[in-house]
Amino acid sequence: MKQLFSSIKDEVMADSESSPSAIPPSPVSESSVSLAFSRRKLMAVLTAIGIGGQVFHRALIAQVVNQSTVTKEMIAAAQWIADIELNPEEQDDIAKALQPVMEQLTKLRNAAIDADTVPAIVFRPDHFYSQATQANKVAQLSQSKDLLVSWSVERGSKRPSENELPFASVSQLASLLATKRISSHELTQIYLRRLEDLDAQLKCVVTLLPEVALAQAKESDQRRRQGVTVGVLDGIPWVAKDLIAIPPWKTTWGAEPFKEQVRDNEATVSQKLRASGAVLLAKVSLGALAWGDKWFGGMTRNPWNLDQGSSGSSAGSASAVAAGLTGFALGSETLGSIVSPCRRCRCCGLRPTYGRVSRAGCMPLAWTLDKIGPIARYVEDLAYIFPALLGTDGKDPSLVERSYQWPIQRAWADLRIGVAGDLSETEQQVLQLLQAEGTTIIDFDSSMTVSPSELGFVLGVEAAAVFQSQFRQDRNADYGLWTSTFLHSPFIPAIEYIQANRLRGQLIIEAEKKFSAVDVVLGGSDLLLTNLTGLPSLVVSCGTQTIDGKQLPGVIKLTASSYREEMLLHVGHKLQKILPPQPSIPF
């Protein structure tokens, strides 16, 4: 193998020196080979060193560039490019996995892309300048600009029963704390007991933090006795999806290879919630490396049906909220990881516009898709949690500053609601309500000129890049559902990734135009579309749905154009007030 790479290096250098248009020579190693020469030269080199046979030619040239059939033999011949040693069974599995991807790439190559079309990837040199000058310094967090959030204490309401209290809204709990009908210490103890008692059934707790929680609750109570509070979340217990780094405790990413991992830098969202006075109860489960609801501790369960997984990957966050184990939670979404578990566990979740909430200190899965958002029992809860997460931190270059106001006032008759064609039972009920209220209803067509399905491989390529170092070191470790993706993604040509992101830019433009024509869209199976384009979505628990003879809360999904989270929350809150979720307690 050393001789192989040495020969290639010599040929590359010779090609560079003989051609005035070639790029300057650069060092070539066994793990990183510069292939910056023409296809003709590549073939000449391969033939000269004895690996230019017909099968390899097909694998490297005809297959990758022109054809749409992938065979085991082609993978075996081309695996050196990906720097992966594969056994025959893995070669066969990868060939099967790549077949649909190659079909997508064929469509991608046939797409007409104008030279002025830039990829949907932003390069920010100034971000790295600031990182260089801030080396070994703690980044300064700033509150987002133009935040107008009002909250009033409910003084007349009575304290809920012991059975109802864990399921109260954030606003109710904040009012109980403000009027001293409960202390943060007492509330924290209630949630800690429930986490301990019910985790055996739900399997949602990765690391319980009772000492931390009680200490933070004590600090909140002390502030309140001194007549000082830091906002509506002061003293409210919460749980963190265990891809959010909070040292010195473990951040396991839900995967066996990382179960003892401690990340040194605290996530920005954790810092912001700590500054808001929220009380951290626990780190909770996610599907291994943010896929599904199975992690190294088992499968996290749906509180409404313990025979069923809670869906993922924010499995523990949604399960804990629905079961009344916490005041609220944080989750994350790359492709459905807030929306899906909130639907399954019948709670509320906000997936913000891409770039609104810092991901710094959170496990990256796909840099151009990852988003952090809150999960709670009521839409109004989300409206108070969301602004606490906003603001720059000097660490995440994707952050965009936008104003936020809560509450806002818009009558039903002033709203334009787009309706997708595939509504759930509860969404049908909501549509009837909207029509009765005089809302303008518009048939919404989410089909796009650029097919999102042809761009979906972008996620796998980015995820494989994140974990390639660990995966190369230990291919036999348990990476959950990701192993196949980590194996076949290195065979995706880099140019196709760039071209996909250029088409993704066109998709963003088209989607923004369509979604901007309405205030919100009700329903729709559009997770790939809206995640690729970075649009915000909201899951609302409302009304009642009967499944297999059992009454459960219904759920709906609302989506809006970029940076319109306050409109999503406004519509969702109005609907939830008219159609409160019934029943509201799973057990």
Domain boundaries, the chain: 147-444+518-578
- The reported pLDDT for the residue numbered 143 is 77
Residue 477 has pLDDT above 60, yes or no: yes
Q: What's the pLDDT tens digit per position in 43-79?
A: 444 444 343 444 444 444 444 444 457 788 877 877 7
Residue 519 has pLDDT above 90, yes or no: yes
Predicted structure pTM score: 0.85
- Place 240 in a pLDDT band, splitting at 50, 70 and 90: very high
DSSP, collapsed to helix, strand or coil, labels residue 546 as strand
- The reported pLDDT for the residue numbered 139 is 55
Q: What's the pLDDT tens digit per position in 190-221?
A: 999 999 999 999 999 999 999 999 999 999 99
Is the alpha carbon torsion for 503, 504, 506, 510 positive or negative? positive
- Write a three-state SS string for 400-419: CCCCEEECCCCCHHHCEEEE
Residue 92 has pLDDT above 90, yes or no: no
Residue 90 has pLDDT above 90, yes or no: no
More confident residue, 408 or 17: 408
- The reported pLDDT for the residue numbered 510 is 96
Q: Which CATH class is domain 147-444+518-578?
A: alpha beta
Region 257-266 average pLDDT: 97
Left, alpha or beta for 363 (phi > 0: left; psi -120 to 50: alpha)? beta
Q: Among 78-92, 304-318, 430-444, which stretch is predicted with the lowest mean pLDDT?
A: 78-92
Rounded distance between C-alpha atoms, residue 53 and residue 411, angstroms: 71
Provide the CA 44 distance to its chain's centre, in angstroms.
45
Computed over every residue of the chain, the mean pLDDT equals 87
Residue 524 has pLDDT above 90, yes or no: yes
Tokens 């109710």: give the residue: 172
Strand intervals (E) in 355-502: 371-376, 404-406, 416-419, 440-443
Region 555-580 average pLDDT: 98
Region 249-275 average pLDDT: 97
- The reported pLDDT for the residue numbered 52 is 42
More confident residue, 556 or 108: 556
Token pair for residue 204? Answer: 């949602």
- Place 484 in a pLDDT band, splitting at 50, 70 and 90: very high
Q: Which residues are catalytic?
A: 241, 313, 337
